Structure 1
């Protein structure tokens, strides 16, 4: 997995994870990388410093460090997007592509859904005219 700092044409900054650099290029060329703030698909990689953790001194204990850094504006926006999606959509898991296709063809009731799909399946949905968009986060798998 690789994390990229991204910026849309309206100068909104955000981050997203991709399976590889090639996966980023593939989903970007399919118009599936969108800004979580404004929805623009005019997104480019931004300059990003690598995240390097300093070595812990022997005297430092985990309790000496803060549990979490304050959230940035982009992280807050992403958290709100995730909350909205989870509260207003049905999670269909790995069956996302099949369920989206059924709804598009009138074989299942239309509703808001989210889930997971392989890149190839997502590209096929787009080619078929099924209205889908990638989420700027990875859904948490629900087990019940």
Structure 2
């Protein structure tokens, strides 16, 4: 099996598992590969990090035609390589659409999110809808200070990373 990072024309990224590069090309040509978030058929390979070999303390099993890696320290369940149920796909697409609408009038502030949110909370700057990136520690500190923050349900790519 080969795993590719894929992205659609809407900027969503996801993984695709194929038996070979040729299998990927065949499925793309037949329109069988779609974005699990929005259903777009305009899917391409996303840039990927190089593969890292498995540790010596691992073993591989073949489960339902898939290779599943196990390591001595891994207690995670194998991930199913089957399409999500239609209801799940539709619900996730509705959530993504609602989030996109909510963010239309929100300003992307990148890694300055915690500073900007704190500044607005303490009245040092005008309140405005913002979204950006914060570490878990930054988000917890904001919450401890009484600043209202919430994680986004669907990951958002920074504007400078969009094609």
Shorter-chain TM-score bucket reads 0.5 to 0.7
TM-score, with normalisation over the residues of structure 2? 0.49
When Rg is computed on C-alpha atoms for both structures, the one with the higher figure is 2
Task: Give the total of aligned pairs.
Answer: 94
Matches of 1:142 and 1:57, distance apart in 2:
30
Give the secondary structure class of the aligned counterpart of 1:121. helix
Instruction: Confirm or deny that 1:110 pairs with 2:95.
Output: no
Instruction: Confirm or deny that 1:68 pairs with 2:34.
Output: yes
Q: 2:17 aligns with which of 42, 50, 53?
A: 53
> Considering only aligned residues, what root-mean-square deviation do their CA atoms show, in Å?
2.8
Equivalence for 2:159: 142
* Bigger RCO (CA 8 Å, 6+ sep): 1
Shift in Å, 1:105: 0.3
Give the secondary structure class of the aligned counterpart of 1:88. coil
User: Once the two structures are superposed, what CA deviation does each residue of 1:80-116 show, in whole Å capped at 9, x if it has no partner?
Assistant: 1331133121111110000000000000100111111
Q: 1:89 aligns with which of 97, 106, 110?
A: 106
Structure 1 residues not aligned, in runs of 5+ = 1-50
Matches of 2:145 and 2:107, distance apart in 1:
22
